[in-house]
């Protein structure tokens, strides 16, 4: 253990509030755009293969999810891994600008479709990710690995990096006719993004967040020790079966991947049931909705392997992305943002109002209910009842993300008020 | 030989358990029980913080030569945690359940992000520097933690 790790505990190492916040405030804007797009083009949920559906997917995955995850990494790496990102504020500013502009270009390029814009997106996103990953690697290489979470964070970052590289490659195939097989690479892109990137990051975070904040017993040691490694390795094997078109073996490996995801989800739900907190808080509810949706989404994936109906892939996308990952991210945002506001006030020597004064429960609970209703509407719309179902889902989605933004802005207002009082 | 990491991480979890009983009592509107739980938590927390401040940190500082480093930050956060505890006591006295839950939530997050830094970074550093003296240090820490009965 060296000085670098120790320095991570200094006030100097704590990133400025603006570093994660700029990401957190940008993400809901992409969510609003996704809602508006669906409102205008409700037919986008009919099939995954239309340009509009790809645009919608990436408004949610790159515009919202990736943005939130990047912002959180600036905050999480110093605390859990003792690895502050060098020149945090500068790096955060650059990464934020490149990724936001890149996300807009990606969505436009995919949706229009406009090959030249897609190439610009590749450059912007490629540059933004390069800056982030180099900075994160420098941070992580400076500290030795002592605990499960920092190690699994490394796996997750590598998984996410692979997913993004595959995405950039796909974009070049579409835009410039790069001579590579589209279909297997697309499959790998989705698999790595869901499980290798977002899923493993969720796992690495959950090892500590769930026991500590929800006051539960620890995860079984075997799970924290082997899960990320097993998942990563199985994803590699799965990738080989996809590339070599070993269809029957592939399905067996997919079952193994689903079982691994299920082991994580099942253990988390079981731990939460043993939480010492007598009243499940809002974050815990958001986790329950998220984990339940993930299970349903995984089942849809398995069904999709044995059905030609275009319904199952779209349904799995809705359940895993909107129902699963976004729910969990909402739960975390509602803890991180008010706590950071409190922390920065306290560090500035202000007697800070407590977190619930900075962020009252009522609007948060209502926004989460809006989120759950939106999920229900999205599912109904995916079942193809009528175009109106899609429009209503789009409208609800616009509302839920605008509401999220509003709730966060209100925390910032309370923070400013307290700071100037 | 148990390490500082194991010893102190275990005590963090023990403090968490006591902490949870406060909320449970408040949720049931049982203010007497909440008061008793808060007192028990205060004692457990104080025993933990003072074991660090009077035994572990000074030994680490002299063994590593890092006087102004991580331990300084940890001491500052201890001050914030004690203030949070005072705020909870104050809310309890006024029987203000909303305020108490807001203060409890804030203290919980402050405490847990502090614990994460200790468990993942500082304690392993301590073990690196102090593993040679655990034969005497271990029992001393244990008895300081036990003083609270938690
Ligand atoms: C910055 C990085 C990314 C780039 C450049 C990118 C690019 C692409 C491209 C070009 C395609 C379409 C391929 C085609 O037309 O067949 C695609 C599909 C897809 N991507 Fe990404 N992607 C990125 C990040 C992500 C992330 C982070 C996720 C999820 C968490 C994701 C989820 C998906 C999904 C689910 C599809 C398939 C959509 C469908 O089947 O309709 N992507 N991506």
DSSP A181: -
φ/ψ of A381, rounded to 5, equals: -65, -40
Q: At residue A145, does pLDDT exceed 80?
A: no
Q: A70-102, pLDDT tens digit by residue? A: 999 998 888 777 778 889 999 999 999 999 999
| pLDDT band (50, 70, 90) for residue A203 | very high
Taking CA atoms only, the protein residue closest to ligand 1 atom 36 is A190
Lowest mean pLDDT among A157-166, A326-335, A385-394: A385-394
User: Tokens 């000085």 sit at which residue?
Assistant: A3
Alpha carbon distance A5, A139 (integer Å): 10
Q: A339-352, pLDDT tens digit by residue? A: 899 889 988 888 88
Mean pLDDT value of segment A363-371:
97
User: Do residues B57 and B83 touch, judged by C-beta distance below 8 A?
Assistant: no
ipTM passes above 0.90: no
The highest-confidence range among A185-194, A275-284, A334-343, B19-28, by mean pLDDT, is A185-194
The beta-carbon neighbor of B102 closest among A8, A81, A354 is: A354
Structural domain for B57, as ranges: 4-146
| pLDDT band (50, 70, 90) for residue A369 | very high
φ/ψ of A80, rounded to 5, equals: -90, -25
Q: At residue A382, does pLDDT exceed 50?
A: yes
Structure-model confidence comparison of residues A300 and A154, the more confident one = A300
Please give the share of chain A, as a percent, with pLDDT higher than 70: 95
Alpha carbon distance B73, B67 (integer Å): 11
Given this model, what pLDDT does residue A2 score?
Answer: 40
CA atoms within 13 A on the CB side of B1: 13
Ligand 1 pocket check: which of A167, A168, A201 to mutate, most ligand atoms within 8 Å of Cβ?
A167
| pLDDT band (50, 70, 90) for residue A115 | very high
CB-based contact (8 Å) between B9 and chain A?
no
| pLDDT band (50, 70, 90) for residue B20 | confident
Q: At residue B136, does pLDDT exceed 60?
A: yes
Distance A190 CA to ligand 1 centre (A): 7
Mean pLDDT value of segment A379-396:
91
CB-based contact (8 Å) between A309 and chain B?
no
Mean pLDDT value of segment A175-199:
94
Determine the residue of chain A that is closest to B25 in CA distance: A278
What CATH number does residue B27 fall under?
A: 1.20.120.520
Q: At residue B150, does pLDDT exceed 50?
A: no
Say yes or no for a CB contact (<8 Å) between B124 and A81.
Answer: no
Taking CA atoms only, the protein residue closest to ligand 1 atom 23 is A167
Q: At residue A215, does pLDDT exceed 70?
A: yes
Q: Which 3 state secondary structure label does DSSP give B30? A: coil
Distance A185 CA to ligand 1 centre (A): 10
Given this model, what pLDDT does residue A288 score?
Answer: 94
| pLDDT band (50, 70, 90) for residue B147 | low
- What is the number of domains present in chain B? 1
φ/ψ of B95, rounded to 5, equals: 50, 40
Q: B53-111, pLDDT tens digit by residue? A: 999 998 999 888 887 778 888 998 899 899 999 999 999 999 888 889 889 888 988 89
Say yes or no for a CB contact (<8 Å) between A1 and B128.
Answer: yes
Alpha carbon distance A15, A24 (integer Å): 14
Taking CA atoms only, the protein residue closest to ligand 1 atom 22 is A167
Determine the residue of chain A that is closest to B97 in CA distance: A356
Determine the residue of chain A that is closest to B107 in CA distance: A354
Q: At residue A11, does pLDDT exceed 60?
A: no
Given this model, what pLDDT does residue A3 score?
Answer: 41
Lowest mean pLDDT among A1-15, A377-391, B47-61: A1-15
B140 class by beta-carbon count within 10 Å (0-12 exposed, 13-18 middle, 19+ buried): middle
Given this model, what pLDDT does residue A58 score?
Answer: 97
Which phi-psi region, left, alpha or beta, contains residue B95 (left: φ > 0; alpha: ψ -120 to 50)?
Answer: left
Say yes or no for a CB contact (<8 Å) between B101 and A356.
Answer: yes
Mean pLDDT value of segment B123-135:
87
Omega before A267 cis (within 30°)?
no
Q: At residue B115, does pLDDT exceed 80?
A: yes
Helix (H) / strand (E) element for A113: namely none
| pLDDT band (50, 70, 90) for residue A144 | low
Alpha carbon distance A220, A218 (integer Å): 6
Structure-model confidence comparison of residues A384 and A200, the more confident one = A200
The beta-carbon neighbor of B106 closest among A81, A82, A355 is: A355
Average pLDDT, chain B: 87
Average pLDDT, chain A: 91
Q: A268-306, pLDDT tens digit by residue? A: 999 998 888 777 788 899 999 999 999 999 999 999 988
């Amino acid at each position: 253990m060296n000085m670098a790790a120790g320095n991570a505990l200094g006030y100097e190492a704590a990133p400025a509030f603006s570093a994660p916040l700029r990401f957190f405030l940008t993400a809901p804007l992409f969510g609003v755009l996704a809602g508006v797009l669906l409102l205008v083009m409700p037919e986008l949920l009919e099939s995954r293969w239309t340009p509009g559906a790809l645009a919608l997917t990436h408004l949610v995955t790159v515009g919202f999810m990736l943005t939130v995850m990047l912002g959180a990494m600036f905050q999480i790496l110093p605390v859990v891994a003792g690895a502050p990102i060098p020149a945090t504020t500068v790096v955060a500013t650059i990464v934020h600008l490149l990724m936001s502009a890149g996300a807009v270009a990606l969505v436009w390029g995919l949706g229009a479709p406009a090959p030249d814009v897609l190439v610009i997106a590749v450059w912007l996103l490629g540059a933004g990710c390069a800056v982030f990953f180099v900075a994160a690697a420098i941070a992580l290489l400076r500290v030795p690995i002592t605990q499960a979470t920092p190690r699994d964070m490394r796996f997750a970052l590598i998984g996410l990096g692979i997913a993004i590289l595959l995405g950039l490659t796909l974009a070049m195939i579409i835009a410039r006719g790069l001579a590579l097989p589209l279909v297997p690479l697309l499959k790998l892109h989705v698999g790595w993004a869901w499980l290798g990137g977002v899923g493993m990051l969720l796992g690495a975070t959950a090892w500590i967040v769930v026991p500590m904040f929800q006051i539960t017993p620890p995860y079984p040691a075997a799970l924290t020790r082997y899960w990320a490694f097993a998942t990563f390795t199985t994803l590699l094997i799965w990738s080989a079966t996809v590339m070599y078109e070993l269809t029957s073996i592939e399905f067996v490996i997919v079952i193994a991947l689903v079982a691994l995801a299920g082991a994580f989800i099942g253990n988390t739900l079981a731990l939460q049931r043993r939480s010492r907190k007598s009243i499940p808080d809002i974050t815990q509810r958001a986790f329950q909705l998220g984990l339940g949706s993930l299970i349903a989404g995984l089942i849809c994936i398995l069904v999709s392997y044995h059905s030609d109906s275009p319904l199952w892939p779209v349904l799995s996308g809705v359940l895993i992305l909107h129902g699963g990952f976004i729910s969990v991210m909402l739960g975390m945002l509602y803890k991180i943002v008010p706590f950071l506001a409190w922390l920065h006030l306290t560090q500035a020597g202000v007697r800070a109002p407590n977190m619930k004064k900075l962020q009252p429960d009522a609007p948060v609970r209502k926004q989460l209910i809006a989120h759950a209703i939106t999920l229900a509407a999205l599912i109904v719309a995916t079942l193809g009842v009528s175009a109106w179902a899609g429009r209503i889902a789009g409208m609800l989605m616009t509302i839920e993300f605008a509401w999220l933004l509003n709730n966060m802005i209100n925390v910032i207002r309370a923070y400013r008020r307290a700071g100037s009082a | 030989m148990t390490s500082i990491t194991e010893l102190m991480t275990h005590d963090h979890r023990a403090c968490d358990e006591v902490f949870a009983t406060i909320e449970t009592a408040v949720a049931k509107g049982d203010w007497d029980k909440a008061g008793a739980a808060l007192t028990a938590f205060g004692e457990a927390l104080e025993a933990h913080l003072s074991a660090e401040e009077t035994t572990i940190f000074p030994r680490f500082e002299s063994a590593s030569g890092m006087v102004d480093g991580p331990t300084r930050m940890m001491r500052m956060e201890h001050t914030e945690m004690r203030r949070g505890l005072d705020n909870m006591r104050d809310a309890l006295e006024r029987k203000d359940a909303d305020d108490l839950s807001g203060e409890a939530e804030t203290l919980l997050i402050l405490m847990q992000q502090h614990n994460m830094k200790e468990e993942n970074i500082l304690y392993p550093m301590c073990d690196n520097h102090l593993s040679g003296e655990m034969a005497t240090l271990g029992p001393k820490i244990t008895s300081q933690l036990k003083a609270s009965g938690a």
